[in-house]
Chain A
């Protein structure tokens, strides 16, 4: 299977989990990664700066109508939803909160499922609500690959548990295993090229 993008959703405890996951993606990792981390609407771009410093890949806040580049990690800005366009650019939106969240994981996942179809990998990490469950299901229906963090390992288990119940993911894994799997899937993509 040839994948073209990864979407990741995280909430409570997500900052730590993302740090751990993203640092394990090696230089030359080719798939673009889109991340929604639930965050206070008034927060600055501290998280983006921090992750960018830690990561071997470029981590940046997503810009409106930005063209998607390989090997970049795009983080949704606080108080905006991030949508993926089918022409592979990013749109932002101030529409109302979904699951009490803006950015909402569901909105990223659902639009990315349309944009990438079966070539999309969706990952749900730790969190204390059920955002992302419907989005992950949309990815599954579109033929994409679904991964959820093992609830026992997650700092908050509600979100991974909801995603597992709702979307019946292909894999339920620990963070380290998720990182290893993403690297493996990316290597398969690179070999095909």
Chain B
């Protein structure tokens, strides 16, 4: 019986590989180099939730019902985010990175994998407080157009506003956080002037290439869903996108240690995973 289970797991893995291949061919989204444990969890959860009997049924639905695929796309792209997530990251940006960026006449910032946009507005707000916003162009990108639509609107549920106010203060906020949003029924709308210099656009880190030369790349809690090979190619993409002396900010558990560019960056802050592209 145990033998059966091992054989079954092997079959599941083969079927998952086939599904990922099929998704890539049909829809152009490439999950083949995502963390296998992550993809397997998401697909099997979707299988259970949809009350389907087998992975082959799942494959049929993915290929023939684009709406079903959209749901799966939401599962595979993790969109858990918040205002000023990991306040220490923003505090360090404010203290150690923004003072250097201020020496440039004009800067470009790329938020890669921006999801529903909370962290884009968080950073824009800090730039504003630091007097740098009007000299900044922000590109906020994600491969999932559904989350970009939410990001563009900048309207979020009100339920976590207390937590975000706390985060804002811990991130070195200098004003009253409530000055930056209007509460309306169950929603908050962030200061619309923060949108002025933000361009939201679709960009897929796995399949698309460099699209701008920037002074700062922020990409948080995206690389953890990739395998080592894909992490390496994405860090290389960031390297190519950065000006000499440009900065890279990752999620607190992410690292460039396993990539081929490890020697091409210096560590600005190891705890907050902020790196600087070495000047050649």
Residues of the A chain whose Cβ atoms lie less than 8 Å from the Cβ of B6? 117-118
Is A146 an interface residue when CB atoms closer than 8 A count as contact?
A: no
Stretch of B20-28, B32-40, B126-134, B260-268 lying at the A interface: B32-40
CB contact under 8 A between A114 and B78, given known A65-B258, A85-B35, A93-B224: no
Residues of the B chain whose Cβ atoms lie less than 8 Å from the Cβ of A91? 35, 37-38, 224-225
**CA gap between A94 and B253 in the complex, in Å:** 10
Give A82-121 interface residues, CB cut-off 8 Å to B.
83-87, 91-96, 107, 110-111, 114-115, 117-118
Consensus secondary structure, chain B interface: helix
Is B2 an interface residue when CB atoms closer than 8 A count as contact?
A: yes
Is A71 an interface residue when CB atoms closer than 8 A count as contact?
A: no
**CA gap between A114 and B16 in the complex, in Å:** 14
- Cβ B37 vs Cβ A63 within 8 A: no
Is B231 an interface residue when CB atoms closer than 8 A count as contact?
A: yes
Residues of the A chain whose Cβ atoms lie less than 8 Å from the Cβ of B253? 63-64, 77, 80, 92
**CA gap between A37 and B154 in the complex, in Å:** 35
Interface residues on B, range: 20 to 34
Measured CB to CB, the closest approach of chain A to B127, in angstroms, equals: 24
- Cβ B37 vs Cβ A94 within 8 A: no
Is A70 an interface residue when CB atoms closer than 8 A count as contact?
A: no
Residues of the B chain whose Cβ atoms lie less than 8 Å from the Cβ of A118? 2, 5-6
Q: Which residue from chain B places its CB closest to the CB of A143 in the assembled complex?
A: B2
Is B9 an interface residue when CB atoms closer than 8 A count as contact?
A: yes
Residues of the B chain whose Cβ atoms lie less than 8 Å from the Cβ of A110? 41
Q: Which residue in B5, B9, B41, B80 is a CB contact (below 8 Å) of A83? A: B41
Measured CB to CB, the closest approach of chain A to B9, in angstroms, equals: 6
CB contact under 8 A between A85 and B36, given known A65-B258, A93-B225, A94-B80: yes
Residues of the B chain whose Cβ atoms lie less than 8 Å from the Cβ of A156? none
Q: Which residue from chain A places its CB closest to the CB of B34 in the assembled complex?
A: A91
- Cβ A86 vs Cβ B36 within 8 A: yes
- Cβ A95 vs Cβ B35 within 8 A: no
Is A142 an interface residue when CB atoms closer than 8 A count as contact?
A: yes
Tally of contact residues, A, Cβ under 8 A: 26
Q: Which residue in B2, B5, B80, B231 is a CB contact (below 8 Å) of A65? A: B231
CB contact under 8 A between A94 and B255, given known A85-B36, A115-B37: no
Measured CB to CB, the closest approach of chain A to B8, in angstroms, equals: 10
Q: Which residue from chain B places its CB closest to the CB of A112 in the assembled complex?
A: B37
- Cβ A93 vs Cβ B13 within 8 A: no
Residues of the A chain whose Cβ atoms lie less than 8 Å from the Cβ of B41? 83, 107, 110-111
**CA gap between A184 and B221 in the complex, in Å:** 40
Is B145 an interface residue when CB atoms closer than 8 A count as contact?
A: no
Is B240 an interface residue when CB atoms closer than 8 A count as contact?
A: no
CB contact under 8 A between A83 and B37, given known A65-B231, A95-B80, A142-B5: yes
Q: Which residue from chain A places its CB closest to the CB of B254 in the assembled complex?
A: A64
**CA gap between A95 and B9 in the complex, in Å:** 23
**CA gap between A92 and B231 in the complex, in Å:** 14
Chain A 66-78: CB-based contact to B (< 8 A → 1; otherwise 0) = 0000000000010
Other than the known A86-B13, A110-B41, what 14 A-B pairs have Cβ atoms closer than 8 Å?
A64-B224, A64-B253, A64-B255, A65-B231, A91-B37, A92-B224, A93-B35, A94-B224, A94-B251, A95-B80, A117-B2, A117-B5, A118-B5, A142-B9
Footprint of B on A, CB under 8 Å?
63-65, 77, 80, 83-87, 91-96, 107, 110-111, 114-115, 117-118, 141-143
Q: Which 8 A-B pairs have the closest CB atoms?
A: A83-B37, A143-B2, A91-B35, A111-B37, A94-B221, A85-B37, A95-B78, A64-B253
Footprint of A on B, CB under 8 Å?
1-2, 5-6, 9, 13, 35-38, 40-41, 78, 80, 221, 223-225, 227-228, 231, 251, 253-255, 258
